[in-house]
Amino acid sequence: MYELEDPGALTAPALLVAFEGWVSAGSAGTATIDHLAGDGPVVATFDGDRLFDYRANRPVADYLEGVLTELSFPEITLRRRTLGDRDLLLLSGTEPNWNWQALAGEVTDLAEGLGVIEHVSLGGIPWAAPHTRPTSIVETASAPEHLSADADHPEGRLRVPAAAVSAIERSMIDRGVPTFGFWARVPHYVGTTYSPAVVALVERVSTHLGVSVPFGTLLDQAAEQRGVLDDLIEDQPQARAIVEQLEALVDQEGNISGQELAAEIERFLADTTPDEGFSG
């Protein structure tokens, strides 16, 4: 299902996975993977014809003066980057439509062959969160002891629609590889890449893996986006009122039950419609 180029010797490699699609609100996971990968080389390319329904994820055709010059297909690639004394293998692309279990098995075989010692899933969760507060991270793991001491994790049983990253993570767990998941809470009203979530995920991955990740222009992008959202909301009284409600919700979150939080999310979605122009 993939073509592999020899990545060379790897030191304590970690596999990080994110797909654009389900569980990637604000493109948080894939944008984080792109930042972590930097200019690292592609070491594996997966067969899109076996993974994508091109009617659902259509290729993009480029024309110049009426001449078809390029046809770009959705893809999934594995990149490598060395940070400090560790190697990162970064799998990302469009979430596949087909053959999730086969893909998961092949990714796990590939990871085992390359000596991967841990797996990290990354993504974003649409949430009743205001952009005026720090982005919080939900943690998941393959075992309770893998969660950090102060982890913000789902309590009790949580049943949600699965994503392709979940299939890969489950396959890794079945092979005995420790897995971790970091999911940024992204404001519902942000309809583009949410840079503050990327900053939060990069910080969390850096701490977890024990590596130093340069931020480059990411902090400036997050600050600029905050300013744009502030200006947008200032001009829309209804939007400003919703953000103020979300701020109050977050500030008293410790006293709010899961049912109350879910009800607030439903109210938020009901109050925020596409024709209001309330997006990032």
Average pLDDT of the chain to the nearest whole number = 90
Is there a contact between 222 and 195 (Cβ–Cβ < 8 Å)?
Answer: yes
Question: Where do the DSSP E strands lie in the chain?
Answer: 2-4, 14-20, 42-46, 60-64, 67-72, 76-83, 86-94, 118-127, 137-141, 179-187
Is there a contact between 202 and 83 (Cβ–Cβ < 8 Å)?
Answer: no
Strand partners, 180: 120, 141
Q: Comparing 29 with 236, which gets the higher pLDDT?
A: 29
Local confidence band at 171 (pLDDT 50, 70, 90 cut-offs): very high
3 pLDDT exceeds 90? yes
pLDDT at position 154: 82
Q: What is the pTM of this model?
A: 0.88
176 pLDDT exceeds 70? yes
Average the pLDDT over 77-97 and give the result.
Answer: 97
- Give Cβ neighbours of residue 201 (< 8 Å, ≥ 6 apart): 28, 29, 32, 122, 137, 182, 184
Dist. CA 94–CA 30, nearest whole Å: 9
Dist. CA 29–CA 23, nearest whole Å: 8
Domain extents in the chain: 2-216
- Which amino acid, 51? L
Local confidence band at 271 (pLDDT 50, 70, 90 cut-offs): low
Burial class (CB in 10 A: 0-12, 13-18, 19+), 213: buried
pLDDT at position 159: 85
Count CB neighbours of 176 within 10 A.
8
User: 3-state DSSP helix/strand/coil percent for the chain, to nearest 5?
Assistant: 40, 25, 35
Local confidence band at 213 (pLDDT 50, 70, 90 cut-offs): very high
- Give Cβ neighbours of residue 232 (< 8 Å, ≥ 6 apart): 239, 278, 280
- Per-residue pLDDT of 224-261, as tens digits, reads 999 999 998 888 888 888 888 888 888 876 444 444 54
- Per-residue pLDDT of 115-164, as tens digits, reads 999 999 999 999 888 999 999 999 999 999 999 888 888 888 888 889 99
Assign 87 to helix, strand or coil: strand
34 pLDDT exceeds 80? yes
CATH of 2-216, one of 3.40.50.10900, 3.30.1490.100, 3.90.1280.10, 1.10.10.10: 3.40.50.10900
Dist. CA 176–CA 154, nearest whole Å: 22
Dist. CA 36–CA 207, nearest whole Å: 13
